[in-house]
Amino acid sequence: MSIRKLWLIVLTLVATLSIAINALILTTLTDRYFKTYLTESYDEHINQMVTYITYSLKEENVSLRQMAIELESHLDDPIVKIKLYGPQGALLVQVEDRDYDRRDFMRMGMMDFMFRIGEEEVDSFNIMDNGILLGKLNITKQSSAESSVIAMMFKSRLFINSLISTGFALVITLIAGAYISKRMSKDLTDTAQLASNIQVGNPLEQKPSSIKEINQIQSSLQDLNTRLRLKQKSRKTLVDQLVHQSKTPLTILKSHVEAIEDGVLELTPQEIEIFQHQIDHLNNILSNMATMIDAEKETEILNLETVDIHQLMTQILLGLQSQFDKKGIEIKFTQTGKTKLFTDPYKLSQVIYNLLTNAYKYTEDGSVEVKIKEDDKHLIISITDTGIGIQPIDIDNIFNAYFRGNNGLKISGEGIGLYVVKENLTQLGGTIDVQSVVGKGSTFTITLPLKNTQE
């Protein structure tokens, strides 16, 4: 059963019950007041007749005809017959409602006939004056006020009018219920379509519902859609990072294998160490894959250890040396002191690899210089190239995912490397600064806190 039909049924039942209760209470109260009115009217007629008859019988020249005319005016529901007897029981006056007939009453209609007519009864009243009996008044009436003709007609009309008002109320209820249920049904249908669009990834075009609860559901669905899209975007970014990070060790391995095949390099213990280092690097990437593609995690877990910065930098430079040599780019490396840092070697290696491979890609000739120094509180690593440089308008955006500077669009890349650099340094508690001149080169300066150093 649809919610629209269920709503109409419930609304109709509630409306019918409410109208029935209201009609019952109203009918009961009205009937009670009407009965009271009839009883008071009857008592008033009796008092008026007794007063008139007492006064008339005390007169010597009483006119019985005149008395009959006067008493006839009191033939009003529920009174149907009046008889006046003298002190010795002689009938003096008799008047009755000649129009009163049970058969005529039955012809009033089926609804009136539904009410049962009561039996007649006689009330007797002695007409006294100073203890002297002047006469006796007999009043024939319906057995009760509620069984009188006027009472029966009143009840009949009240019942019919109640049915008519109930019918009108139900019609109005059904019309209003149909309209409201249609609106509600449409809003629910639209909400279901909204959920379906979210599921299949269709564009969302949704007008807010006027029903508060449905509007809250729609808002929740739209919030869910926003979170899903952000999650998808985040997951794509992380997967792209994985692909980007895997390229560097694979490229280094490939270049060294080709150099050995061409006889440029020999398979020395140092070369084997380079191979081992790049394989370890790939293994770290694969080990961190589960963490990287879990888009619900805000940060990755750091694997901190004491790292010899000179040794780490030497391994990285040796791995990239053959690539730089093929392109004719000189690598310069200078370091003051032999700093050891308590950090995550995998993430720090990613930072340096990405900066050096960027310097390699965007430098056609010249050199790339790496400097390591320290002050009282910081370890500072700077990488300077003589490449194409970065336009000032692009400086603020180069660390955003998928951003490519205008002057570097012709060079292959995904715009992920510097984003990974920024993210990794943030996790390591470091910062990066860039200075660049178009056509002359760029300098990237990494600053890491020495408080991470563990003796």
Listed residue (33, 208, 46, 22) closest to 122, CA to CA: 46
Q: What is the pLDDT of residues 62-113, one digit of tens each?
A: 788 888 888 888 887 778 889 999 888 899 899 987 765 544 444 444 444 4
The per-residue pLDDT for 455 is: 45
The better pLDDT of the pair 220, 358 is held by: 358
Would the pLDDT of 175 be above 70?
A: yes
Q: What is the pLDDT of residues 80-92, one digit of tens each?
A: 889 999 888 899 8
Q: Quick count: other Cβ atoms within 10 Å of Cβ 392?
A: 10
Q: Quick count: other Cβ atoms within 10 Å of Cβ 218?
A: 21
Q: Measured at the alpha carbon of residue 196, what is the angle toward residues 191 and 202, in degrees to the nearest 5?
A: 110
The better pLDDT of the pair 146, 22 is held by: 22
| Range from 8-12, 142-146, 223-227, 270-274 carrying the lowest mean pLDDT | 142-146
Residue 69 Cα to chain centre, angstroms? 81
Whether residue 440 contacts residue 426, with contact meaning beta carbons closer than 8 Å, is answered with no
| Range from 184-188, 398-402, 427-431 carrying the lowest mean pLDDT | 184-188
The per-residue pLDDT for 298 is: 52
What is the distance between the alpha carbons of residues 43 and 145, in angstroms, rounded to a whole number? 11
- Return mean pLDDT, the chain: 78
What is the distance between the alpha carbons of residues 202 and 209, in angstroms, rounded to a whole number? 20
Say what percent of the chain tops pLDDT 90: 16
pTM of the model: 0.45
Whether residue 181 contacts residue 8, with contact meaning beta carbons closer than 8 Å, is answered with yes
The CATH number corresponding to 3-173 among 3.30.450, 3.40.50, 3.30.40, 1.10.3470 equals 3.30.450
Would the pLDDT of 297 be above 60?
A: no
Would the pLDDT of 432 be above 90?
A: yes
Residue 414 Cα to chain centre, angstroms? 40
Instruction: Give the pLDDT band (50/70/90) at residue 8.
Output: low
What is the distance between the alpha carbons of residues 178 and 168, in angstroms, rounded to a whole number? 15
Residues in the chain: 455
Q: What are phi and psi of 208, to 5 degrees?
A: -60, 140
Average pLDDT estimate for 430-449 = 94
Instruction: Give the pLDDT band (50/70/90) at residue 437.
Output: very high
The per-residue pLDDT for 380 is: 92
What is the distance between the alpha carbons of residues 225 and 201, in angstroms, rounded to a whole number? 9
What is the distance between the alpha carbons of residues 351 and 313, in angstroms, rounded to a whole number? 11
Average pLDDT estimate for 289-316 = 72
Cα→Cα distances 350→211, 386, 418, Å: 53, 22, 10
The per-residue pLDDT for 1 is: 53
Per CATH, the architecture of 231-452 is what? 2-Layer Sandwich (3.30)
Token pair for residue 231?
């999650």
Would the pLDDT of 190 be above 70?
A: yes
The per-residue pLDDT for 238 is: 65
Domain boundaries, the chain: 3-173, 231-452
Instruction: Give the pLDDT band (50/70/90) at residue 422.
Output: very high
60 Cβ partners below 8 Å, 6+ apart? none
The per-residue pLDDT for 120 is: 77
What is the distance between the alpha carbons of residues 14 and 8, in angstroms, rounded to a whole number? 10
The per-residue pLDDT for 110 is: 40
Average pLDDT estimate for 271-278 = 76
The per-residue pLDDT for 197 is: 73
Name residue, tokens 């692909």.
Answer: 243
E strand or H helix that includes residue 120: strand 120-129
